[in-house]
């Protein structure tokens, strides 16, 4: 809200940008603060938001899985959960659109993906809305649990290997 209070608002994920036909879903924390961050800087300094979620997904850099929809090989997805059922992710907004802030991965995410959302713990929400928000871009201390989604695919054949449990 404009008076400094918090409000719930429905926004569309992704900033429209002049150099791309689609939208930009995520904003790199280091880019938004750097010399090439003009598109995001005003939002980061003046329009920060929080996106509640039950977890987030990242595609593995090399592991493959089989798409349930198409049956074709795709990058295997991993679900990340926080220490509590609900977690919060840092975001910025402009008009009716928002972008998720990302940062370097921590130890839980790094084996899977080279970026991660800026995950916020409940007690850090006030910091995100304060002038000291930048300290939250280091997420090395955030505990996350990774769970692989779908069966692994054989890299050579693209076929799925399902392990049956013995009863």
pLDDT digits (tens), the chain, 167 positions: 456 678 899 999 999 888 888 899 999 999 998 888 888 999 999 999 999 999 999 999 999 998 888 989 999 999 999 988 899 999 999 999 999 999 999 999 999 999 999 999 999 999 999 999 999 999 999 999 999 988 776 544 443 333 322 22
d(CA 159, CA 167): 25
Say which residue the tokens 């997904």 belong to. 57
pTM of the model: 0.84
DSSP assignment string, 31-79: HHHSTT-HHHHHHHHH-EEEEEES-EEEEEEEEEEE-TTT-SEEEEEEE
Instruction: Tell me what pLDDT residue 43 has.
Output: 94
d(CA 106, CA 47): 26
Please write the tens of the pLDDT for every residue from 111-130: 999 999 999 999 999 999 99
Strands 23-24 and 15-16: antiparallel
């Amino acid at each position: 809200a404009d008076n400094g209070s918090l409000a719930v608002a429905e926004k569309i994920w992704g900033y429209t940008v002049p150099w791309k036909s689609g939208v930009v879903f995520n904003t790199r924390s280091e880019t938004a603060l750097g010399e090439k961050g003009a598109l995001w800087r005003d939002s980061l300094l003046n329009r920060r938001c929080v996106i509640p979620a039950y977890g987030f997904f990242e595609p593995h850099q090399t592991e493959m899985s089989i798409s349930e929809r198409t049956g074709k090989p795709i990058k295997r997805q991993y679900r990340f959960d926080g220490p509590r059922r609900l977690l919060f992710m840092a975001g910025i907004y402009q008009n009716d659109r928002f972008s998720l802030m990302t940062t370097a991965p921590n130890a839980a995410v790094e084996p899977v993906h080279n970026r991660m959302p800026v995950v916020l713990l409940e007690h850090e929400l006030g910091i995100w809305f304060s002038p000291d928000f930048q300290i939250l871009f280091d997420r090395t201390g955030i505990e996350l649990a990774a769970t692989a989604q779908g069966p692994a695919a054989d890299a050579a054949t693209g076929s799925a290997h399902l392990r049956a449990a013995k009863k």
